[in-house]
Structure 1
Amino acid sequence: MVSSEIVDKHSAASQDIGMARRKPASLDLAALLPSWELSLRAERKSAQTVKVYGDGVRAFLRWCAQQNQTPALDRNLMKAFVADLLDAGAEPATARSRQLAMRRFSAWLAEEGEIDDDPLLGLKAPKLDAKVTESLSEAELRRLIKVCVGKDFRDRRDEAIVRLMVETGMRAGEVCGLTVDDIDLGRGLVTVRRGKGGKGRVAPFGPQTGVAIDRYLRARRSHLLAETSALWLGDRGKGLEYYGLHKTLKWRAELAGLKNFHPHLLRHTAASRWLAAGGSEGGLMAVAGWSTRDMIDRYTRSTAADRAAAEARSLNLGEL
């Protein structure tokens, strides 16, 4: 009788364990997405990174609904999704980003035990076009700075931001994340506490940028949020967030008559100006926060011919 009870208890326990380990009949990707985004935030991924990854998964879910397909982590389904994106006119970089989001999502699901294996492991990404990334000319850059010159709060702020971005090559998100304590006017240094990939760095700036920042800091003293730590403040008693910075810079570019402007163009320009002035590639990588040299080629391809011509003239190889 006792042994029979032991067997029954053991059988019941086995059933409980089996139920605990049982996977759902079908994986609900939409329901699991918020958990992945929470995990990304816990890993201290930037808000922009979390948004890009989330948008990639949501784009896949929308596509599945349009195709009357059940969302699944299937390699052929993923290839069809990417192919449709490209056929619809999406940039290869966009298709690559969407696919990467799904691959990262799939890897996380495997790590969390939601699936036994990662079915998207090793899936090749779409090949990117070798596009030429434009930079601002010296004349265009001077026009952009000129339209920022003025004595009111917004003018002082925008001139300081433009000068800092075009000299250091800082990303817009990094600029928005600066605090007052990150600026060392005496030594001409700005500290990026957390750049892309969670990496910090220190970048130098010259006297003209230092003067522009100093003017802004003096104007900042009378702002309603002067006691807060954020370096850049809005002109209506608010802070200056990522999209506010984009809107402000595009407005200044319109005043300067610059077409097809986007804030990241200032980073491209900073890299091109650095190399054109004779700066080393290693120094540029350190200042801009790049870990691989291929980013230099990508950002400065449009001005490579000009630099090569200037170098050739200085070498005087035709003097025989």
Structure 2
Amino acid sequence: MGAYSDIVALLDSWLLHLAAERKSAQTLKTYGDGVRAFLRWCEAEDRPPVLDRPTVNAFVSALLDHGAQASTARSRQLALRRFSAWLADEGEVDTDPLLTLRPPKLDHKVVQELDDDQLRALIKACKGNDLRDRRDEAIVRLMAETGVRAGEVVGMSVADIDLKRCEVVVRRGKGGRGRTVPIGPHAARAVDRYVRARRTHRLAQTPALWLGDRGKGFTYDGLYVALRHRAERAGIPNFHPHVLRHTAAGRWLAAGGSEGGLMAIAGWSRRDMIDRYTRATSERRAAEEARRLSLGDL
């Protein structure tokens, strides 16, 4: 393998470098998983794990041939491209052979947003007086109103909540960009109820805002399991927490909110993200707008 003979050790060094750059835990996991998947494939195929275009292209093709989503293949390839670029920057290889490698095209998936009835049913499925009930309702209301990412929610601390101002602070959004997000009185009340219930938790003195049951902390996986359970109780099929981000974006525009405001609230820096996140309901909003405009009334 030449310069790549110690690729496993180099992977550990790269992840250490990313941690020093304050990349999120989810980013570290995604990149690490991508490179490790490549190494497993090379071993299974009895191929040397060389980061060159033919080998990486064959790896990506194998992923797609075995039914992987295009987004998964793109994520795996991105991890390898970033790893290869770091190896070149660190002088571990002379040049980056993946520098001009193009990512696989993504399928334009349409993620269905929750309608108002489904959203009410999801909130109702969280009703109760124990800590889990109050936590899950607060999270659902927060995500459905503001569109904050699941990872951003999990990373919140108690200090990030200002209920007097009805604001939450996202300290480290995607790309390291933080922002302050306003919340309405219903979400603020739900968060307040949770915070008061949180006082009896074994980890009440720790900084993390969201805590798990049975005296545990609260991770992304914990959020996924908790909200998936609530969605099942509400009769909502194929639920994923990311649906709430799509729902928040669609509801914002449907209520007459500006695109610039949505970008600021959601933490987006590119205009095309609006189209990506609201594609499922764009035609319906356009039809409603056309009826309001009544351009045929001559």
Question: Which range, TM-score by smaller chain?
Answer: over 0.9
Is the contact between residue 103 and residue 121 of structure 1 (CA under 8 Å) also seen in structure 2? yes
In structure 2, C-alpha distance between the alignment counterparts of 1:24 and 1:302, rounded to whole Å: 49
Q: Does residue 124 of the first structure (1) align with residue 106 of the second (2)?
A: no
| One-letter code aligned to 1:52 | T
- Which residue does 2:129 correspond to in 1? 151
Is the contact between residue 177 and residue 230 of structure 1 (CA under 8 Å) also seen in structure 2? yes
- Which residue does 1:268 correspond to in 2? 246
- Which residue does 1:8 correspond to in 2? none
Within the candidate set 231, 247, 265, 2:225 is matched to 247
Deviation of the 1:25 alpha carbon: 6.1
In structure 1, C-alpha distance between the alignment counterparts of 2:145 and 2:3, rounded to whole Å: 56
Q: Does residue 279 of the first structure (1) align with residue 279 of the second (2)?
A: no
- Which residue does 1:313 correspond to in 2? 291
- Which residue does 2:195 correspond to in 1? 217
In structure 2, C-alpha distance between the alignment counterparts of 1:124 and 1:177, rounded to whole Å: 32
Is the contact between residue 169 and residue 178 of structure 2 (CA under 8 Å) also seen in structure 1? yes
Q: Does residue 34 of the first structure (1) align with residue 12 of the second (2)?
A: yes
Is the contact between residue 29 and residue 72 of structure 1 (CA under 8 Å) also seen in structure 2? no
Within the candidate set 143, 153, 165, 1:165 is matched to 143
| One-letter code aligned to 1:146 | K
Is the contact between residue 35 and residue 76 of structure 2 (CA under 8 Å) also seen in structure 1? yes
- Residue segments in structure 2 that go unaligned for 5+ positions in a row: none
Q: Percent identity?
A: 68
Is the contact between residue 246 and residue 278 of structure 2 (CA under 8 Å) also seen in structure 1? yes
Question: What SS does the aligned partner of 1:131 have?
Answer: coil
In structure 2, C-alpha distance between the alignment counterparts of 1:68 and 1:129, rounded to whole Å: 31
| Residues 124-151 of structure 1, C-alpha deviations (whole Å, 9 max, x = no match) | 1111112212111111000000011112
| One-letter code aligned to 2:230 | R
In structure 2, C-alpha distance between the alignment counterparts of 1:231 and 1:54, rounded to whole Å: 27
- Over the aligned positions, Cα root-mean-square deviation in angstroms equals 1.3
- Which residue does 1:104 correspond to in 2? 82
Structure 1 residues 26, 140: CA separation in 2 closer, same or farther (over 3 Å shift)?
closer
Deviation of the 1:318 alpha carbon: 2.4
In structure 2, C-alpha distance between the alignment counterparts of 1:225 and 1:25, rounded to whole Å: 47
Question: What SS does the aligned partner of 1:296 have?
Answer: helix
- Residue segments in structure 1 that go unaligned for 5+ positions in a row: 1-22
Greater Cα offset, 23-32 or 62-71:
23-32
TM-score normalised by length of structure 2: 0.97
In structure 2, C-alpha distance between the alignment counterparts of 1:281 and 1:32, rounded to whole Å: 43
Deviation of the 1:68 alpha carbon: 1.4
Q: Does residue 64 of the first structure (1) align with residue 42 of the second (2)?
A: yes
Q: Does residue 199 of the first structure (1) align with residue 170 of the second (2)?
A: no
Question: What SS does the aligned partner of 2:169 have?
Answer: strand
TM-score normalised by length of structure 1: 0.90
Q: State how many pairs are aligned.
A: 298
Q: Does residue 137 of the first structure (1) align with residue 115 of the second (2)?
A: yes
- Which residue does 1:46 correspond to in 2? 24
In structure 1, C-alpha distance between the alignment counterparts of 2:110 and 2:3, rounded to whole Å: 48
- Which residue does 2:275 correspond to in 1? 297
Is the contact between residue 4 and residue 49 of structure 2 (CA under 8 Å) also seen in structure 1? no
Give 1 or 2 for the bigger CA radius of gyration: 1
Deviation of the 1:30 alpha carbon: 2.4
In structure 1, C-alpha distance between the alignment counterparts of 2:36 and 2:198, rounded to whole Å: 41
Greater Cα offset, 25-34 or 66-75:
25-34
Deviation of the 1:217 alpha carbon: 1.4
